[in-house]
Structure 1
């Protein structure tokens, strides 16, 4: 009987029957066979089962295995404390578009981690305490074993880490997934690697013999489990006398610069552990390696020779075993890392580009050794960033706002990656879960606040390839392009002009993002950048002079609502973009253009107020020709970010009051036509209207959606404000828009 994973691309989609019966994983999910391996046994721990708290009740935790046919029960979430939020899907290893692993539940025991699409990327964790095995991660099927589950006491989410705390048999286990975000440090930010640390200590004062087992499956390497993979083990020299043991695997016949189910079809999965006494490793079939660890108390330091073979052929796993010896109150630690390295990283107009990390290390082995040697320093740096996010976000919008920022940071940066183009750093962004485009302008735009707050220079790196393409790459149109390519990671451009045109939208977005970037850099950099790109920015501005005040029938960023004519919100964006161009002109030293574009913007905003005002009159319309309608004017945020002062205070106050008459239990709809909204735009609106009560409501309602939604997918930005469900989209970098309030205080 073979094991099969989710290849549907649907979050949490269970395996269906295969010819001849259920798969091994299907059996686990449908009959509770996995309950015989730990999910069922979790209920044996005193105090684990409890009444589900409103904040933690997980009606959608069925993916953790529902009630076992053998009588066991899945771990209850009631005893788990969530601080400061219960993520809909917990970020585990989130560093790039292809290293993006999540826990689609609240409890780790009995749940396989998944890629953002829902494709299983299995990871197993078992603790042996005084000879008794306890499951704390994953849903492995270990024939003949009934594993008890460790009691998960808490999950703490910060901007860079997800920290779980477990208890069993007098022992505490602290399990931390740390995905560093390194503002201002391109070398470290370029590493597509993530930490996993486990610290074990005695709770009862007694000495306990503790061993830890971890493995990952070949599913991390490809979206198709029928794909053949090959593997290797290496001892990589580390800092001083330390050694890093790396287990790596890759598709046997990689398809360079191609995807399967949004996962890379080329590249190498790197799974490493810092050397320490008692560390052993093994590569082999899951049915052989896991029982051996439990039976022998160690692994064989051996590699299965039957390779290459398919991921689903006896399911090869890559395992580490730590014999921590006798553990008392002083914690014993195991340090691992997980990464996905690819060369090339992307292509630009047909030219392959290397990842930026190759500018610092000759091969991934040296990078992995550096990453492990840097573990303590990285923990210190990221803890400081976590505190900065929490402190400043709490001051800007309260503790619920800080919780949203903590959940958003990794997801926003994890949708991007750094490459080298002729020795210069560039950043590319993937339009995750919607179109899959390369560096989509109207996806980069809503994410702008996180970069404006955390690392303005990074925003400049995201703008660089977009500007280069418009200036020298063959883009044929007067207005700005929508994206750099239809399918990540190939920035093939659209030199034939055939793309999803959003003329006012993307031209305005580019100008507003440029002004936001210039606001965050020093005077010399500001002048050099504005001067270098002045011609193309002026071209787009002149297009807006002709088209922004009353946009024709155009597409815009909320394209799921369809084309719209005379859009008041789109017009506002275009007008503010002309104000942004006045700042670009000032930075470039062009006083005449500064005066001209600012004058046009002031003239247009006056006309805009009259055209957009509803006849009631107590709010602004969705479109000039649609009386009795309304929409969130989230495009007011750049007026505050850039200090333009164009939108009258009276208009802001009127809109703020109106929105409070339109509230639903989980937010304010995007416009009058639907019950759904966009969380990023809600936070832009909250920032624009920060001095009005509606700002606090928007924060609280988005928090409630994230904290309680049964849609267990990575932070969705498109959801229903009535029923608390995801409407579409997940794991997108646009959640960087949550940082809109924070960006105003920079």
Structure 2
């Protein structure tokens, strides 16, 4: 897991053409709406045009408008449509008006929202340029984040607009979980008791289709019938010359962006140049129902947008609702050892159009199901770690699942994971490992689907080494393997990771499933366990998951992981009915754990060392968590108490460093440590510190796992599925 040059740490800046002045897109970002900041005061109701072109002055009462409320957390970047490695849209600001949504890399994926109230337009989303208009902004009253949705509440001119971005997570329902689609719902009501004529406009730009704005795209409009009486208007666009199974700036170079609206009275649509389409909606309150014939054309050639306008009529006592969805569909989804694999949704629907129609017909039920999941996550997480812990779980769930996707392999479901923002590898084992807790808590069977290709490759795919592989391919979505053995080897790391994940999965499977799984994969799991028996007690000079810290010899934390991996193998052997093997691995693990506790002890006898041969050092022994997770009882309680007390003396304002060498830490490992040491006060500190970082950091990127505990800033990485590790505390209460 190495950091890719230039891929993490900063939001992208596409405001300038190479070597030139501000581009037209840049002008739209910075001057399209007068006086824009991050939902600055010039956007609030009461703002009045200034005599200078392109500026706005605030009316005297603007200062009295209360800032928005964030419940239960102010996200570093707000998850909008976050559903898969290629459907990943975020808002990197507190306010939705005045900032473009972005792909996880920081590249603009423009989305615009404008409401007309009694003929007056108000901006609530994005930073559009509307010729001849100085848009006022709706006041953003609140942002509520749950496990599956982000809900904004806006107000202007006596009207309230609730804007909900819902990216469903559907435990136990592979059909629904396989859909690479996300909902957007606008609900409008009168707040002042009066009737108001309201229209709501949305568009997205061609930037959603490709990482290069010079790419030519094609588009289409169609009407699709769904279950019951549901009909959907679908606007879609795709690269004119797609490159299957490729990426540009981490965005897919093939596939189709689908932008859909549930039909209702007053719905109109249009595909055309951004300034033309937006101006029509603002001026007329409706769209022409036409598609610009000038295609294919470059994304940045008059910036084609795909727009819907909902004329909601006279809004008074009842709430009027508009339902949209956005998605990214690709066929094939990935390649495994040279064979293209279709997305799993193709097993249920013959086309994306039929899938989208089902998705819209299912909207109300999906909202109820996911609301129930939201409540469960909040309830369980609050009980396990308090309200701040519940907030972290809410922020993490969508991001963790969106790093994965479901495919069909010979008619069976598999799940692949992308190592987002670090190396871009396919199904990296030491990225799946820290994410494991979220799947164990919400849907253990999903973890089984993630493990399936990781086990198939060494069993049938040509992996040549005796220890577990690091990943299934150097660059997502191509799981090409490493049959030449040329990869980022982490022998003890990955072998132990696989054994621990398999044992955790087996502990949550029914007995028949556990027995079949353990038997099917016993040969390779025993091979890895035997490697650990030979190498885990003292790993020597090996690479490990925190490779950005550099190689380290005789790592105490890596040794602990290897020993617990041997202990995990005893559980695998028991599930397979191999009682003699189970006893042998259990005995070995106990013997090694006793030696480890002595070898790792510092000369001061008050904490464990970073490495056996480095007295006076220390590190977070987050690998103690699997001991608690699996109930192995290998780490003495006295050692856990000693470490907990020591960590409390090393705390910085925003967390505890990963080790003595740096001020940075990893949030996933902090939560693993908090779970391991949950009986000690330092556990609560770790939760509070990570919450405070996420809630206040100026690094406005999708939740990073690697940050500085003093500077309160991102050190690297963003949007990675490893934030599933936040759920570690929840996995201990079964």
Q: Please indicate the TM-score interval, normalised by the length of the shorter structure.
A: over 0.9
Alignment of structure 1 residues 685-696 onto 2, 5 Å: 685-696=673-684
Given that residues 159 and 188 in structure 2 are in contact (C-alpha distance below 8 angstroms), is that contact kept between their aligned partners in structure 1?
yes
The aligned residue for residue 542 of structure 1 is 530
The aligned residue for residue 271 of structure 1 is 259
Alignment of structure 1 residues 318-467 onto 2, 5 Å: 318-467=306-455
The aligned residue for residue 22 of structure 1 is 22
Given that residues 39 and 149 in structure 1 are in contact (C-alpha distance below 8 angstroms), is that contact kept between their aligned partners in structure 2?
no
What is the CA RMSD across the aligned residues, in angstroms? 2.0
Alignment of structure 1 residues 181-192 onto 2, 5 Å: 181-192=169-180
Separation of aligned partners in 1, 2:66 and 2:387: 22
Query: Closer, same or farther in 2 for the Cα pair 1:619/1:8, shift >3 Å?
Result: closer
Q: CA deviation at 1:131?
A: 0.3
Residue 310 (1) aligns with residue 326 (2):
no
Separation of aligned partners in 2, 1:217 and 1:73: 30
The aligned residue for residue 475 of structure 2 is 487
The aligned residue for residue 715 of structure 1 is 703
The aligned residue for residue 741 of structure 1 is 729
Separation of aligned partners in 2, 1:668 and 1:155: 29
Residue 70 (1) aligns with residue 70 (2):
no
Partner-residue secondary structure (3-state), 1:660: helix
Separation of aligned partners in 1, 2:598 and 2:8: 50
Query: Closer, same or farther in 2 for the Cα pair 1:37/1:406, shift >3 Å?
Result: closer
Query: Closer, same or farther in 2 for the Cα pair 1:132/1:180, shift >3 Å?
Result: same
Given that residues 112 and 122 in structure 1 are in contact (C-alpha distance below 8 angstroms), is that contact kept between their aligned partners in structure 2?
yes
Residues 529-549 of structure 1 show CA distances to partners (whole Å, capped at 9, x for unaligned) of 000000000000000000000
Alignment of structure 1 residues 222-233 onto 2, 5 Å: 222-233=210-221
Given that residues 12 and 104 in structure 1 are in contact (C-alpha distance below 8 angstroms), is that contact kept between their aligned partners in structure 2?
no
Query: Closer, same or farther in 2 for the Cα pair 1:44/1:105, shift >3 Å?
Result: closer
Partner-residue secondary structure (3-state), 1:655: helix
Separation of aligned partners in 1, 2:41 and 2:400: 34
Given that residues 43 and 72 in structure 1 are in contact (C-alpha distance below 8 angstroms), is that contact kept between their aligned partners in structure 2?
yes
Separation of aligned partners in 2, 1:717 and 1:167: 35
In structure 1, runs of 5+ residues without a counterpart are 1-5, 50-66
The aligned residue for residue 45 of structure 1 is 44
Partner-residue secondary structure (3-state), 2:131: coil
Residue 476 (1) aligns with residue 481 (2):
no
The aligned residue for residue 52 of structure 1 is none
Residue 666 (1) aligns with residue 654 (2):
yes
Given that residues 40 and 73 in structure 1 are in contact (C-alpha distance below 8 angstroms), is that contact kept between their aligned partners in structure 2?
no
The aligned residue for residue 286 of structure 1 is 274
Partner-residue secondary structure (3-state), 2:33: helix
Separation of aligned partners in 2, 1:690 and 1:419: 37
Separation of aligned partners in 1, 2:8 and 2:620: 35
User: Which stretch of the first structure deviates more once superposed, 8-17 or 682-691?
Assistant: 8-17
The aligned residue for residue 299 of structure 1 is 287
Partner-residue secondary structure (3-state), 1:347: strand
Aligned length: 723
Q: CA deviation at 1:23?
A: 1.4
Query: Closer, same or farther in 2 for the Cα pair 1:9/1:84, shift >3 Å?
Result: closer
Q: CA deviation at 1:242?
A: 2.3
The aligned residue for residue 53 of structure 1 is none
Q: CA deviation at 1:12?
A: 4.6
The aligned residue for residue 111 of structure 2 is 123
Equivalent residue for 1:638, pick from 626, 636, 641: 626
The aligned residue for residue 150 of structure 1 is 138
The aligned residue for residue 111 of structure 1 is 99
Partner-residue secondary structure (3-state), 2:686: helix
Given that residues 418 and 425 in structure 2 are in contact (C-alpha distance below 8 angstroms), is that contact kept between their aligned partners in structure 1?
yes
The aligned residue for residue 35 of structure 1 is 34
Residue 681 (1) aligns with residue 669 (2):
yes
Given that residues 631 and 672 in structure 1 are in contact (C-alpha distance below 8 angstroms), is that contact kept between their aligned partners in structure 2?
yes
Separation of aligned partners in 1, 2:83 and 2:117: 33
Partner-residue secondary structure (3-state), 1:528: helix
Query: Closer, same or farther in 2 for the Cα pair 1:129/1:630, shift >3 Å?
Result: same
Alignment of structure 1 residues 71-90 onto 2, 5 Å: 72=57, 79-90=67-78
In structure 2, runs of 5+ residues without a counterpart are 1-5
The aligned residue for residue 60 of structure 1 is none
Alignment of structure 1 residues 546-695 onto 2, 5 Å: 546-695=534-683
Query: Closer, same or farther in 2 for the Cα pair 1:68/1:511, shift >3 Å?
Result: farther
Given that residues 7 and 105 in structure 2 are in contact (C-alpha distance below 8 angstroms), is that contact kept between their aligned partners in structure 1?
no
* TM-score (structure 2 length as normaliser): 0.96
Given that residues 9 and 119 in structure 1 are in contact (C-alpha distance below 8 angstroms), is that contact kept between their aligned partners in structure 2?
no
Residues 293-343 of structure 1 show CA distances to partners (whole Å, capped at 9, x for unaligned) of 122221111100000000000100000000000001210000000000000
Separation of aligned partners in 1, 2:184 and 2:28: 26
Partner-residue secondary structure (3-state), 2:561: helix
Separation of aligned partners in 2, 1:72 and 1:29: 19
Given that residues 108 and 136 in structure 1 are in contact (C-alpha distance below 8 angstroms), is that contact kept between their aligned partners in structure 2?
yes
The aligned residue for residue 3 of structure 2 is none
Separation of aligned partners in 1, 2:675 and 2:363: 36
